[in-house]
């Protein structure tokens, strides 16, 4: 167990998780805080989540990464190096924008970061699936989530604290340079050996992955479930930074409590979720963890009633991150089980694209919803909207 945990494969998986998690919140929570400081209205802050649409559409260009290679470095490593170098440059470039002077340019740069990040995710998901043997996929998913959460922690918690003291341009410069270890890891990593021959034409790379999936019994139900399972807590989380600031918390308090403290709660939740999945199996875990996610979302409504209180904020964040870690472990395990190795990049991109819809398209009106419903009503709505996903669990396979 320990030998496997500290093997080269797991080290690579961990660093890839870090690289995947780092860019995400630079276009969500840190960007929202920047816009809030620039006195951009709440509705536009909510709409900025639309810059994450590439995460929901990445299955469209995912076949390119299955079909083509870049030089001799390898199909997966070549695309990884290209996307990671470009991500480094565009994250730094995003920090040179100014929401008070040119909101359109800011949105365009953030969209480019999201596009490159989504492209990197496609290749990382395929690489991880092909690098790890079947018996290591469960452990590998947990290691990946750990790295992912550390990347998110650095970008969001660290980013907010850095912004409070050094400004946003310096913050995004540091975040961009933080991609350099991932670039070094990609150069060090081996190209995975896959028995299946890569797609050689349009039909094999674009059409066959979808045909194979939709021929399965219950395939549409699986896709709807993937879309709905985390919709409630994802929509709630999309606008929490302005929520905390409205309650009177400083960016340093938000960064320290919601990100640094929340990180360890997520790590605990991921570990606990992995242990319970082995005992409970996938479907019961999805149900129990999904109910727990709903309870944690309701905690935001309670915090809206309580108001400024560091103990209350800490309790809510602990429960929210613990449930998120548990739910994500079961969620990713379920999606991995639905993937055919012959079409790794494209099918996994389809699943994770649907997973990203609540974070982008469905979260875009959350600012206007919070304005019209009030914070308490909004978070109650987010709690209730998760129920359809829980109902579908009985109709999906193991």
* pLDDT tens, residue by residue, 279-316: 787 788 899 999 999 999 999 999 999 999 999 999 99
Q: How confident is the model at residue 398 (pLDDT cuts 50, 70, 90)?
A: low
Query: Mean pLDDT over residues 141-151, rounded?
Result: 84
State which of 57-71, 208-222, 244-258, 375-389 shows the largest mean pLDDT. 375-389
Q: Are 77 and 191 in contact (CB under 8 A)?
A: yes
Among 228, 227, 218, which Cα is nearest to 389's? 228
Query: Mean pLDDT over residues 18-43, rounded?
Result: 90
Query: Mean pLDDT over residues 353-368, rounded?
Result: 75
HSE toward the beta carbon, residue 224, CA cutoff 13 A: 14
DSSP state of 7: S
Query: Mean pLDDT over residues 97-120, rounded?
Result: 92
Q: What pLDDT, on a 0 to 100 scale, did the predictor assign at position 50? A: 86
Q: Are 143 and 16 in contact (CB under 8 A)?
A: no
Among 362, 339, 269, which Cα is nearest to 122's? 339
Residue ranges per structural domain of the chain: 2-395
Compute the distance between CA of residue 45 and CA of residue 33 in angstroms, rounded to an integer. Answer: 9
Burial of 212 (0-12, 13-18, 19+ CB in 10 A): middle
Percent of all residues in the chain with a pLDDT value above 90, rounded to a whole number? 39
Q: What pLDDT, on a 0 to 100 scale, did the predictor assign at position 6? A: 74
DSSP state of 223: H
Compute the distance between CA of residue 384 and CA of residue 290 in angstroms, rounded to an integer. Answer: 12
Q: Is the pLDDT of residue 201 over 80?
A: no
Mean pLDDT, the chain, as a whole number?
87
52 Cβ neighbours under 8 A, 6+ residues apart? 27, 28, 114, 356, 359, 360
Q: What is the pLDDT of residues 242-259, one digit of tens each?
A: 899 999 998 888 878 876
Among the residue ranges 55-64, 115-124, 319-328, 340-349, the one predicted with the least confidence is 340-349
Q: What pLDDT, on a 0 to 100 scale, did the predictor assign at position 77? A: 94
Q: What is the pLDDT of residues 316-328, one digit of tens each?
A: 999 998 998 888 8
Among 320, 174, 171, which Cα is nearest to 244's? 320
Q: Who wins on pLDDT, 89 or 347? A: 89
Which superfamily does CATH assign the domain made up of 2-395 to?
MFS general substrate transporter like domains (1.20.1250.20)
Q: Who wins on pLDDT, 145 or 299? A: 299
Q: Is the pLDDT of residue 358 over 70?
A: no
Q: What pLDDT, on a 0 to 100 scale, did the predictor assign at position 16? A: 96
Q: What are phi and psi of 337, to 5 degrees?
A: -65, -20
Among 249, 81, 91, 236, which Cα is nearest to 164's? 249
Q: Are 357 and 126 in contact (CB under 8 A)?
A: no
Compute the distance between CA of residue 351 and CA of residue 222 in angstroms, rounded to an integer. Answer: 9
218: left (phi over 0), alpha (psi -120 to 50) or beta: left
Q: What pLDDT, on a 0 to 100 scale, did the predictor assign at position 297? A: 94
Q: Are 355 and 230 in contact (CB under 8 A)?
A: yes
Among the residue ranges 170-174, 217-221, 361-365, the one predicted with the least confidence is 361-365
Burial of 60 (0-12, 13-18, 19+ CB in 10 A): middle
Among 247, 375, 237, which Cα is nearest to 308's? 247
Q: Is the pLDDT of residue 1 over 60?
A: no
pTM, two decimal places? 0.75
Q: For the chain, how many residues are written? A: 398
Among the residue ranges 35-39, 41-45, 89-93, 254-258, the one predicted with the least confidence is 254-258
């Amino acid at each position: 167990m320990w030998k496997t945990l500290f093997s080269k494969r797991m080290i690579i998986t961990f660093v890839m998780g870090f690289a995947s998690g780092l860019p995400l919140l630079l276009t969500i929570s840190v960007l929202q805080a920047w816009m809030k400081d620039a006195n951009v209205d709440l509705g536009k802050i909510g709409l900025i989540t639309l810059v994450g649409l590439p995460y929901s559409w990445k299955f469209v260009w995912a076949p390119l990464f299955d079909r083509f290679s870049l030089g001799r470095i390898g199909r997966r490593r070549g695309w990884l190096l290209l996307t990671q170098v470009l991500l480094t440059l565009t994250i730094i470039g995003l920090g040179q924008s100014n929401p008070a002077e040119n909101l359109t340019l800011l949105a365009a740069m953030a969209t480019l970061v999201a596009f490159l990040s989504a492209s990197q995710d496609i290749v990382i998901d395929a690489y991880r699936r092909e690098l790890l043997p079947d018996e290591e996929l469960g452990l590998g998913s947990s290691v990946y989530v750990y790295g992912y959460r550390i990347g998110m922690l650095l970008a969001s918690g660290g980013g907010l604290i850095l912004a409070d003291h050094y400004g946003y341009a310096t913050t995004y410069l540091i975040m961009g340079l933080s991609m350099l270890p991932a670039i070094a890891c990609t150069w060090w990593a081996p190209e995975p050996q896959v028995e299946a021959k890569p797609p050689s034409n349009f039909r094999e790379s674009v059409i066959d992955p979808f045909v194979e999936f939709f021929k399965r019994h219950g395939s549409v139900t699986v896709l709807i479930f993937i879309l709905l399972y985390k919709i409630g807590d994802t929509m709630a989380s999309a606008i929490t930074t302005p929520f905390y600031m409205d309650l009177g918390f400083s960016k340093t308090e938000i960064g320290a409590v919601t990100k640094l403290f929340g990180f360890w709660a997520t790590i605990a939740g991921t570990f606990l979720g992995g242990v319970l999945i082995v005992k409970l199996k996938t479907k019961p875990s999805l149900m129990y963890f999904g109910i727990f996610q709903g309870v944690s979302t309701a905690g935001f409504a309670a915090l809206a009633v309580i108001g400024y209180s560091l103990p209350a904020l800490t309790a809510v964040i602990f429960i929210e991150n613990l449930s998120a870690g548990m739910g994500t472990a079961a969620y990713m395990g379920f999606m991995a089980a639905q993937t055919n190795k012959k079409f790794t990049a494209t099918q996994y991109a389809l699943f994770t694209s649907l997973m990203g819809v609540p974070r982008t398209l469905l979260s875009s009106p959350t600012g206007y919803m919070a304005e019209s419903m009030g914070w308490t009503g909004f978070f109650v709505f987010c709690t209730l909207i998760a129920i359809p996903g829980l109902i579908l669990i009985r109709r999906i396979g193991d």
